[in-house]
Amino acid sequence: MSEILKKLQKDIHFIEGLNSCMNCGVCTAICPAAEFYNYDPRVIVETVQRGNEEEIEELLKSDTIWYCGECMSCKTRCPRCNTPGLVIMALRKISQENTKTQRTVMCI
Ligand code: SF4
Ligand code: SF4
């Protein structure tokens, strides 16, 4: 298993946030950030669940995980009791810890 997956599986946000996703899209339908950005929490959860190391690394390098507003609306509606917002918190932490995937946000 890759280091990224090992780290994810130890993160309490990830453990709390992902049981099993059935790819229904309810989280995206309820997500306020998805209205404003090219952003889809369903795809993020599905990518993490697939467990492909390269795909997860691409996710960690992308802007996508930074569009979440951490409002946790997704927690209230998921039929599988997942919380994509928590999964994303775990991804952000790993992204910032790894120099290969670290993001620098510039305020203009
Ligand atoms: S609502 Fe839950 S089961 Fe449906 S896509 Fe989102 S995380 Fe997966
Ligand atoms: S926590 Fe993030 S992914 Fe979940 S509804 Fe709020 S903005 Fe969307």
Q: What is the DSSP letter of 63?
A: S
Structure confidence by residue, pLDDT tens digits, 79-92: 999 999 999 999 99
14 alpha carbon – ligand 1 mean position (Å): 14
Question: Half-sphere exposure of residue 79, counting CA atoms within 13 Å on the CB side?
Answer: 8
For ligand 2, whether the C-beta of 55 sits within 6 Å is no
Ligand 1 and 26: CB distance under 6 A? yes
Number of Cβ within a 10 Å radius of residue 78: 22
Confidence of residue 43 (pLDDT cuts 50, 70, 90): very high
For residue 75, the CA-to-ligand 2 centroid distance in Å is: 8
Q: How far is CA 49 from CA 22, 30, 44, 103, in A?
A: 10, 20, 9, 23
Instruction: Give how far Cα 69 sits from Cα of 20, 63, 72, 99, Å.
Output: 22, 13, 8, 24
Tell me how far the alpha carbon of residue 2 lies from the centroid of ligand 2, in angstroms: 27
